[in-house]
């Protein structure tokens, strides 16, 4: 399973890239609102210059025509083929959204259908030709359902029907969501930095490192030349 970082923060991306496990980034208007100073365009171009893989930028129009026009503007922010290959237009799961996804996909533009909460919504996004679909696991939990169980149904629906859309487990709140997504065979999990950092942690690892340090010191002492 690939790991994307769910953030619009260049500092967070810099830190997460140093871990050697992150290949893409997803943003949304809420994440953008936490950044100050730079424009949407500047932030997306900066992020695209940092990460090796897909970068999702979300449209805010509610009608397909507006979404397509915003998408074309975003895609045109750089004339490099590499940018065009990796920039991914995030489109909400509405009938206007699927209409925009269909058109953008016919133009060879990568799309990420966001705000997906049910297997039927996921199926519609796949039918429209979305490159990625993003089930919101944490927000499904918030609604009183089991987000990982719904994700399991979505993975099964996609694989059973032979859809090629890649599944991004999104709205990840804790390492158990990452575990669930990986065990279900999701293509990608998009993870906030704080959760990604938690994923590395285990007290037994810390205890193990301390013990190895102590034993290594003992070994080195035993190697010291005898007087």
Question: What is the binding site for ligand G3P (CB under 6 A)?
Answer: 6, 26, 28, 134, 136, 138-139, 170-171, 190
Least distance from C-beta 24 to ligand G3P, angstroms?
A: 12
User: Which one, of 156, 96, 100, lies nearest residue 123 by Cα?
Assistant: 156
- Residue 54 or residue 103: which is nearer to ligand G3P going by CB? 54
Active site residue 102: no
**How wide is the angle at C-alpha 8 spanned by C-alphas 5 and 10, nearest 5°?**
90
CA distance 38 to 77: 15
**Helix or strand (DSSP H, E) at 224:** none
- CA-based end-to-end distance of the chain: 55
Least distance from C-beta 141 to ligand G3P, angstroms?
A: 9
Of 15, 41, 90, 102, catalytic:
90
Structure tokens at 134: 């993003």
Least distance from C-beta 127 to ligand G3P, angstroms?
A: 22
CA distance 150 to 131: 20
- Residue 148 or residue 171: which is nearer to ligand G3P going by CB? 171
CA–centroid distance for 179 within its chain? 15
Least distance from C-beta 149 to ligand G3P, angstroms?
A: 17
- Residue 88 or residue 103: which is nearer to ligand G3P going by CB? 88
- Residue 59 or residue 103: which is nearer to ligand G3P going by CB? 59
Active site residues per annotation: 90
């Amino acid at each position: 399973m690939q790991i994307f970082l769910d953030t619009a923060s260049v500092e967070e991306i810099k830190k997460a890239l140093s871990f050697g496990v992150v290949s893409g980034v997803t943003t949304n208007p809420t994440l953008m609102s936490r950044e100050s100073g730079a424009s949407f365009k500047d932030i997306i171009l900066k992020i695209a210059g940092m990460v090796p893989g897909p970068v999702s930028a979300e449209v805010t129009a509610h009608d397909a025509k507006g979404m397509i026009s915003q998408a074309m503007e975003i895609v045109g922010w750089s004339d490099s083929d590499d940018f065009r290959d990796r920039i991914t237009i995030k489109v909400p799961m509405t009938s206007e959204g699927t209409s925009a996804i269909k058109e953008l996909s016919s133009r060879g533009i990568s799309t990420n259908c966001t705000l997906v909460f049910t297997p039927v919504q996921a199926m519609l996004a796949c039918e429209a030709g979305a490159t990625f679909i993003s089930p919101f696991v944490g927000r499904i939990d918030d609604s009183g359902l089991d987000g990982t169980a719904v994700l399991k149904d979505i993975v099964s629906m996609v694989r059973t029907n032979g859809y090629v859309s890649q599944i991004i487990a999104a709205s990840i709140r804790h390492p158990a969501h990452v575990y669930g997504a990986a065990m279900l065979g999701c293509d990608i999990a998009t993870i906030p930095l704080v959760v990604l950092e938690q994923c590395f942690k285990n007290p037994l690892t810390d205890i193990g490192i301390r013990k190895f340090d102590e034993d290594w010191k003992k070994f080195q002492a035993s190697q010291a030349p005898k007087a």
